[in-house]
Chains A and B, each alone.
Chain A
Amino acid sequence: MAVVEVRISLPYKGKDPTEIAEKIKEKFPDEVVDVTNFRDQVSVIVKKGRIVDICRYLHDDPLLLFDHLQDLCGVDYHAKKDPRFEVVYNLYSIRHHHKIRIRAQVPENDPNIRTVTAIWVGANWHERECFDMFGIVFKGHPDLRRILLPEDWEGHPLRKDYPLKGPEPEKDWHGFIEVLNRSKELKEYEWEE
């Protein structure tokens, strides 16, 4: 009867996220505004000035190695807090299996932030969506234009002061008004019973 040696190993968990937050804080002490921890989800709230340096450090440092940008989105805290917008980066390390969330504050009177497409190429379309929905301009983006809505739409719908039902029918997107008018003109070509 053969004896088989079985080695059970626990999955490698990587660094504790609070430690990662501490590392960021000691490397960029002026930029970090706050570190929050909600049920083991750690977010580091930073100012938007040196966001590219912070992200470059997180991407390149061999013990951190955040090579997967899982998500990039925007938040609008209309009238709830100032600054109004935040750009949220959800980062994950495929090598070390740890996660962190970086929130960059973007004020309303200067809604632009530098792009991170040089670090993670996948941020391209996410930043376009953020621009489309919130109006946050990403400086240095290779192709910043609307991605979900028609290119000449006016307004940024996911802001909290945009009407849910959309613009008034007279001030609607011109392409849709043209479709309605043209279908009225073509009613004479329809075949009724």
Chain B
Amino acid sequence: MLIDTSTVGLIQVEEGTKILPPNVIITTFDKIINWGRLSSIWPTTFGLACCAIEMMAAGAAHYDFDRFGIIFRGSPRQSDCLIVAGTVTKKMAPVVRRVYDQIPEPRYVVAMGSCACTGGIFRTYNTVQGCDTFLPVDVYVPGCPPRPETLIEGMMKLQEKIRKEQARWSPWR
């Protein structure tokens, strides 16, 4: 070992992370990679219905999304999250699935609003009863529509989920 850890003043900050004051941090790959991913979740704007307005409000000035590192990208090729905001109809379902397929890994799905979670109040001929019938959803954010604070809490729950990942996206599992 290059550093004799018994004599040097290493401070254990949390489980698995040590700091050599003032500015050397020793930690594991998982923590670094997860920290990088959760601090910069870039969603594809996929507003379908009224929940899109609340998503825009959450991204606008008062409830800022940018301070969490969440920047909305226009193309799925440049993003790593899909926020399904609004009612998914059967006519739109292949499009949603295709956009999800074109997001490169690591990718996450947030079902925002009652209609995306379970079909909402619409139990009709053209409404898909929840986007989890054809998408793997990570976080469900209920509400009709959910307030921007609720959506921000949903994204923070997604950040918690990413923080606990252990080589989920590794090619050698």
CA distance A182 to B164 in the complex (A): 30
Query: Are A175 and B91 in contact, CB atoms less than 8 angstroms apart?
Result: yes
Interface check B35, CB cutoff 8 A: no
Interface check B30, CB cutoff 8 A: no
With A176-B90, A176-B93, A183-B135 known to touch, is A149 a contact of B169 (CB < 8 Å)?
A: no
Query: Are B94 and A165 in contact, CB atoms less than 8 angstroms apart?
Result: no
CA distance A130 to B135 in the complex (A): 33
Query: Are A191 and B105 in contact, CB atoms less than 8 angstroms apart?
Result: yes
Interface check A14, CB cutoff 8 A: no
Query: Are A175 and B94 in contact, CB atoms less than 8 angstroms apart?
Result: yes
Residues of chain B with a CB closer than 8 A to A192's CB: 168
Interface check B123, CB cutoff 8 A: yes
Residues 162-193 of chain A, each 1 if its beta carbon lies under 8 Å from chain B, else 0: 11111100001101101110110011001111
Query: Are A183 and B97 in contact, CB atoms less than 8 angstroms apart?
Result: yes
Interface of A is mostly: loop
Residues of chain A with a CB closer than 8 A to B135's CB: 183
CA distance A32 to B91 in the complex (A): 41
Closest-CB distance, B130 to chain A (whole angstroms): 12
Interface residues contributed by chain A, number (CB under 8 Å) = 24
CA distance A132 to B137 in the complex (A): 33
Closest-CB distance, A154 to chain B (whole angstroms): 11
Query: Are B90 and A164 in contact, CB atoms less than 8 angstroms apart?
Result: no
Interface check A122, CB cutoff 8 A: no
Query: Are A163 and B125 in contact, CB atoms less than 8 angstroms apart?
Result: yes
Interface residues contributed by chain B, number (CB under 8 Å) = 22
CA distance A191 to B169 in the complex (A): 7
With A175-B90, A183-B134 known to touch, is A149 a contact of B126 (CB < 8 Å)?
A: yes
A-B contact count (CB 8 A): 53
Residues of chain A with a CB closer than 8 A to B36's CB: none
CA distance A183 to B133 in the complex (A): 9
Query: Are B123 and A164 in contact, CB atoms less than 8 angstroms apart?
Result: yes
Residues of chain A with a CB closer than 8 A to B149's CB: none
CA distance A193 to B136 in the complex (A): 12
Residues 122-166 of chain B, each 1 if its beta carbon lies under 8 Å from chain A, else 0: 011110100001111000000000000000000000000000111
Closest-CB distance, A151 to chain B (whole angstroms): 10
Closest-CB distance, B126 to chain A (whole angstroms): 7
Query: Are B90 and A172 in contact, CB atoms less than 8 angstroms apart?
Result: yes
CA distance A183 to B97 in the complex (A): 8
Interface residues of B (CB under 8 A from A): 90-91, 93-94, 97, 101, 105-106, 123-126, 128, 133-136, 164-166, 168-169
In the assembled complex, 13 residue pairs joining A and B whose CB atoms fall closer than 8 Å, in A order, are A157-B126, A163-B125, A173-B90, A175-B91, A176-B128, A179-B94, A180-B133, A180-B134, A182-B97, A183-B97, A183-B135, A190-B136, A191-B105
